[in-house]
């Protein structure tokens, strides 16, 4: 089946019910590969999801949500959904959207999961179509908006998961840019990525930078638009960036400031990231985990 439901038809189909929204949750972004580049199996996803839950500190520090970047790289969704169901973990599923062939393959992998696991309440928290694709200038705002309507049509209409919010994840700089208004309109939910490290901030300014990004994004997209922190975090190793210094000490301080602040809010958030990803190409990108890839935590997650 080919889904190309237009915004107009989708509007008619879903206008009877309120747009899906989201409420507080917390968790981590995870990659799909090991150090060697091999893919995580269902048993390995299950072990990792249990590990993340074991880090929970109670209340709003309950880590039961995981964001993935791709549905079909490494058969990520096919392998991770049974692990999510087994562990009571919810997935925020990333549908990679560039190029068209990749977008088609990603949608097909999502459709296969919806068919095989129709009770989405057991595993599916939400969906982002594309991750920083506007920031990288991989796509136009109008085309991304159409992709979002396309995925909404498939998930919410064809597969009747009307309560699953669909949006996109992008940097706060993209959300405050009025040129992307069509994307904001298409989204049930806005996922904001914000990295004070990449703003060259000192660790002492980290929380203030994140808060400013949240305020500015929410003001730009409208306070009634459901909002999720898609990614934030601080690297533990690698070169300095402006006044930002990568170190375990600073990553621990940023967690204490930002993750602990977020637990006083109602903003759902997904830390970047759970485990180090030594298969990535740059030192800095390899070292964003709160834990090593071998899983010991680098610092305490207590607030």
Ligand X SMILES: *[C@@H]1O[C@H](CO)[C@@H](O)[C@H](O)[C@H]1NC(C)=O
Exactly one of 48, 106, 231, 277 is catalytic; which is it? 231
Exactly one of 132, 249, 277, 285 is catalytic; which is it? 132
Regarding 58 and contact with ligand X (CB under 6 A), the answer is: no
Regarding 294 and contact with ligand X (CB under 6 A), the answer is: no
| Residue 111, preceding peptide bond in cis (omega within 30° of 0) | no
Closest by Cα among 55, 59, 127, 60 to 90: 127
Regarding 59 and contact with ligand X (CB under 6 A), the answer is: no
270 and 29 Cβ atoms separated by less than 8 Å: yes
23 versus 36: smaller Cβ distance to ligand X: 36
Regarding 279 and contact with ligand X (CB under 6 A), the answer is: yes
- Closest distance to ligand X from the beta carbon of 152 (Å): 34
Q: What's the CA gap between 264 and 145, in Å, rounded? A: 32
251 and 235 Cβ atoms separated by less than 8 Å: yes
Closest by Cα among 281, 251, 263, 271 to 193: 271
26 versus 32: smaller Cβ distance to ligand X: 32
- Closest distance to ligand X from the beta carbon of 184 (Å): 36
31 versus 196: smaller Cβ distance to ligand X: 31
Q: State whether residue 164 is helix, strand or coil.
A: coil
Q: What's the CA gap between 253 and 301, in Å, rounded? A: 10
Using CB under 6 A, which of 2, 37, 115, 294 touches ligand X? 37
| Residue 99, preceding peptide bond in cis (omega within 30° of 0) | yes
Regarding 47 and contact with ligand X (CB under 6 A), the answer is: no
The site for ligand X, by CB under 6 A, has a size of 4
Regarding 39 and contact with ligand X (CB under 6 A), the answer is: no
Per the structure block, which two tokens stand in for 156? 């919410």
15 versus 281: smaller Cβ distance to ligand X: 281
Nearest residue to ligand X by CB is 37
- Closest distance to ligand X from the beta carbon of 71 (Å): 20
Annotation marks residue 231 as catalytic: yes
Other Cβ atoms less than 10 A from the Cβ of 286: the count is: 19
Q: What's the CA gap between 202 and 244, in Å, rounded? A: 5
Annotation marks residue 48 as catalytic: no
Regarding 36 and contact with ligand X (CB under 6 A), the answer is: yes
Closest by Cα among 277, 283, 274, 272 to 246: 283
Please give the positions annotated as active site.
132, 231
Site residues (vs ligand X, CB under 6 A): 36-37, 279, 281
């Amino acid at each position: 089946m080919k889904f190309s439901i237009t915004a107009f038809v989708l509007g008619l189909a879903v206008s009877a019910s309120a747009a899906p929204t989201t409420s507080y949750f917390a968790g981590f972004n995870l990659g799909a590969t090991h150090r060697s580049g091999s893919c995580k199996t269902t048993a390995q996803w299950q072990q990792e999801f249990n590990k993340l839950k074991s880090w929970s500190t109670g209340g709003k520090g309950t880590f039961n949500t995981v964001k993935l970047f791709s549905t079909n790289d490494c058969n990520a969704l096919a392998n991770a959904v049974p692990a999510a169901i087994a562990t009571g973990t919810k997935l925020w599923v990333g549908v990679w959207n560039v190029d068209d062939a990749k977008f088609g393959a990603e949608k097909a992998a999502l459709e296969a999961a919806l068919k095989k696991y129709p009770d989405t309440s057991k595993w599916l928290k939400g969906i982002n179509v594309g991750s920083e694709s506007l920031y990288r200038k991989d796509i136009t705002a109008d085309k991304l908006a159409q992709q979002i309507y396309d995925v909404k049509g498939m998930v919410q209409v064809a597969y009747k998961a009307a309560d699953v919010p669909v949006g996109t994840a992008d940097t706060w700089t993209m959300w405050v840019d009025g040129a992307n208004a069509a994307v904001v309109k298409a989204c049930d939910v806005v996922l904001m990525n914000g990295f004070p490290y990449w703003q060259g901030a000192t660790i002492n300014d980290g929380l203030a930078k994140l808060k400013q990004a949240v305020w500015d994004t929410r003001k730009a997209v409208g306070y009634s638009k459901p909002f999720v922190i898609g990614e934030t975090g601080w690297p533990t190793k690698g070169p300095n960036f402006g006044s930002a210094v990568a170190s375990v000490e600073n990553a621990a301080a940023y967690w204490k400031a930002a993750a602990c602040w977020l637990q006083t809010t109602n903003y759902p958030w997904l830390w970047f990231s759970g485990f180090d990803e030594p298969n990535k190409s740059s030192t800095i990108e390899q070292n964003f985990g709160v834990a090593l890839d071998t899983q010991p935590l680098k610092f305490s997650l207590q607030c």
